[in-house]
Chains A and B, each alone.
Chain A
Amino acid sequence: MDIDLSPLVDSWQYLVDGLGVTLLLSALTVVCSLALGFAIGLARCYGPAWLRWSVVFYIDSMRSIPVLVVLVWTYFAFPILTGVTLPPFWAALVALTAHIAAYVAEIVRAGIGSVRPGQTRAALALGLSRAQTVREIILPQSVVRMLPAFGSILSIAIKDTAIAAVIAVPEYMKQSETVAGQSFRPFEVFTGAAIVYFLILFPITRLVDMVYVRLAHLGKS
């Protein structure tokens, strides 16, 4: 088996552009899903009954449907339903955010739930309002416990952006596919892709593991 790295070399700009899209999409997804997920998580814990039920339905639905399906539906079906066409990148952002926000919401719920109920009782007894209790007492304690799980969201986001290739988002996976198809050198191109993804993801998962270990003791009430 001969190895020919020339496709990688010749198309390196193309691939690097793809990498840029991967990183941009991942970063935006993380930011949006953290924000949305946090809001949904709070609604799950503190909202009125009708809101809670809707949110639970949303979260459990996102747990049941594959990312691929959400991506494809958002890009192809959503425009038909609403008349609004989203370009691939934005469709991917919407789909990934919607999917990952559900996981973030669960992390938020678990984090808030891990704070001893006595804390809330004590705060209310001191005269704090519910809102103040959540803001001053519950959230600060729970956010610390959520941090390690949030870290793994970044890793998940990067891996999920690779699936966006199926809706032709020009991220790294898609670009690799194209180069591999044109050069008939799938081994070199996909192995290169594997190395690139590994080099990006490995430090992140390592860091998250370390944070888990550091903050594990705080997870105990």
Chain B
Amino acid sequence: MRLDWSVVWQNAPALAEGTLLTIVLTVVTMAIAVPAGIVIAMMRFSGLRFLAGAAAAYVEFFRNLPLILVVYWAYYVMPVALDVQFTGFTTGLMALCLNVSAYNSETFRAGIGSIRKGQTEAALALGLSRWQAMREIVLPQAARRVLPVLASTWVSLFKDTSLVSVIAVGELAYTAMRIRSQTFRVLEMLTAMAAIYWALGYPQAKLVDWLHRRLGVTE
């Protein structure tokens, strides 16, 4: 078994680009999926049955589908169904956003729901409107509980971006595997791929742990 690790250094620029795309996908998805998650959570709390039902259905739907299937479905079906041609990147982004928004909405729903009813009642008794009570009293307290979970979701998302490689989006996994096919240096490239994910993911996971400790729920 002859290993040639130089192939990794030779292709460092390409790998760096792939890594960058992974990070971009993660950041942009979260930027969309966090507000989307709040909106969907609010829909479930609204008294309107149609809105609440639609939101609940959306969440249940995406919680119960493998993300890779959503990626394929988006890629093959949307051009046909909507008669629009999206790039692989956009398609992958959409699939990720749909998926993560659902999980985020559950996070916000649980966070908001964990605030004692009495807090809202005290605010209402003082004459605040429901929205003012939410803004001043409930959401700030919920934020403490929501942040660690959002951080965990972020790390999961970071890993899940690898799935859009199956529709040829040039993030890290796709790039590494492409170089592998071209150079036939399988062990080196795949190990390098794992090592890069590890190097980026490990500190993020530790950060999440720290957040969980720091913002630990004290009743």
Contacts and interface: CB of A to CB of B under 8 A. Distances in A.
A68 B64 CA distance: 19
Interface string B58-100: 0011011111110011001100110000000000000000000
Interface residues of B, number: 41
Given A66-B160, A186-B76, A190-B72, A198 B64 contact: yes
Given A190-B72, A190-B77, A65 B194 contact: yes
Interface stretch (A31-39, A127-135, A158-166): A158-166
B67 A159 contact: yes
Interface residues of A: mostly helix, strand, loop or mixed? helix
Contacts of B64: 155, 197-198, 201-202, 205
B166 interface: yes
Interface stretch (B5-13, B38-46, B196-204): B196-204
B205 A64 contact: yes
B205 A63 contact: yes
B190 A72 contact: yes
B205 A60 contact: yes
A56 B162 CA distance: 24
Given A1-B80, A72-B190, A191-B77, A60 B165 contact: no
B206 A190 contact: no
Interface string A60-82: 11011111111011001100110
A73 B65 contact: no
Given A65-B159, A67-B159, A190-B76, A202 B194 contact: no
A193 B60 contact: no
Contacts of B197: 64-66, 69
Interface string B12-39: 0000000000000000000000000000
A155 B67 CA distance: 12
B190 A163 contact: no
A15 interface: no
Given A63-B205, A77-B191, A68 B77 contact: no
A63 B153 CA distance: 12
Contacts of A197: 64-66, 69
7 contacts: A65-B197, A72-B190, A159-B66, A173-B69, A186-B72, A187-B76, A197-B65
